Amino acid sequence: MVDLFPIARAGLFAVNPERAHHLTLTALKLGLAGRDLRGDDPALATQVMGLSFGNPLGLAAGFDKDAQVPLAMLRLGLGHVEVGTVTPLPQPGNPRPRIFRLAQDEAVINRFGFNNSGLPVAKARLSGLPRAGGIIGANIGANKDAPDPLSDYEVGLQVLYPHADYFTANISSPNTPGLRDLQARENLEQLLTRLGRVREGFVAGGSSYKPLVLKIAPDLETKALEDIAEVVLASGIDGIIVSNTTIARPDTLHGSHIAEMGGLSGVPLFEPSTEVLRQMRRLTKGKIALIGAGGVHDGVTAYAKIRAGASLVQFYTAMIYHGPALIRHIKDELTELLKADGFATVADAVGADVD
């Protein structure tokens, strides 16, 4: 795959980040991003949550909110793509501007607020996709003004269950007021019980069992992490994504936008999110799948997430700065690192630094 991104980047960075994102989606829909024609090393193939992944790399939710380009992203060589966050009703999100580049830090601050076209649009797009070439997950959330946010998650799962391979309940975005309160023990118990019942209904009706995943914040205290681990282990939920963006602002950040409200993603998130990942690996004792997200930008950081307990790895912000060729670069570097340490498969390395 010829890497034309260095040329395209100059043009994309000449416009505001949200406009650049829309231009990127248009290019992907037109097939201008190309595809990865090289096969993956067999060492990268893995079974997680009962699903088969050609490699452990995935696109984090937030890039493709309305399921416009999941197949285009899979063609770039990812093992899975997570679309959304999708809410039952369409909503515009927060006022613009709402995304800011911190280029010197290879980071982004966003306060989008679950802007999306709603469940009917996502359902229509996902239901028409050929099911081959990779795993597609759906990230579901609650509308900002929902009288009962938990019911919004139930509705999201109910509508999209036949049309995706796994589902993530996003209760950790900092950009919807009150959303992170759902991480509290009692609220979380109710949410996971209700989602479990929805899935049980589909399975009883003859549908296949599909994994349910929880996405948590990196800003949680130890007691909150312990509560989440206990609730998840008792609930039958299949996995946890560690983590979403952070509301913290390291004093190492640069540029004029560092005081903007919203969630910080990118390289500065790597260390804190990986530490939370290690803690969650210890707390769950390897009994459920963990997906590492936050600051992954090369094979070394992807490998560190895996050794900290992640069976799969997701990224998004790094592609803003490095483009789609980053996917192949990470896979090649990850393969070399695995073999250098004597691991036959990526699954063998999961949790190596914790267990």
Cβ 257 vs Cβ 280: under 8 Å: no
Cβ 324 vs Cβ 5: under 8 Å: yes
Q: Is 315 helix (H, G, I), strand (E, B) or coil?
A: strand
Which residue of the set 117, 172, 173, 311 is catalytic?
A: 173
Q: Could you tell me the two tokens for 229?
A: 């681990």
Cα separation of 131 and 134, whole Å? 8
151 is a catalytic site residue? no
- What angle do the packed helices 17-29 and 5-12 form, to 10 degrees? 140
Cα separation of 345 and 22, whole Å? 37
The CB density around residue 180, as the number of other CB atoms within 10 Å, is 19
Facing residues of 136 across strands? 81
Q: Could you tell me the two tokens for 171?
A: 């209760």
Q: Is 140 helix (H, G, I), strand (E, B) or coil?
A: strand
From first CA to last CA, the distance across the chain in angstroms is 38
Q: Is 319 helix (H, G, I), strand (E, B) or coil?
A: helix
Cα separation of 184 and 173, whole Å? 14
Cα separation of 345 and 263, whole Å? 34
Measure Cα distances from 176 to 36, 44, 97, 116, 266 in Å.
36, 36, 16, 13, 20
Give catalytic residue positions. 173
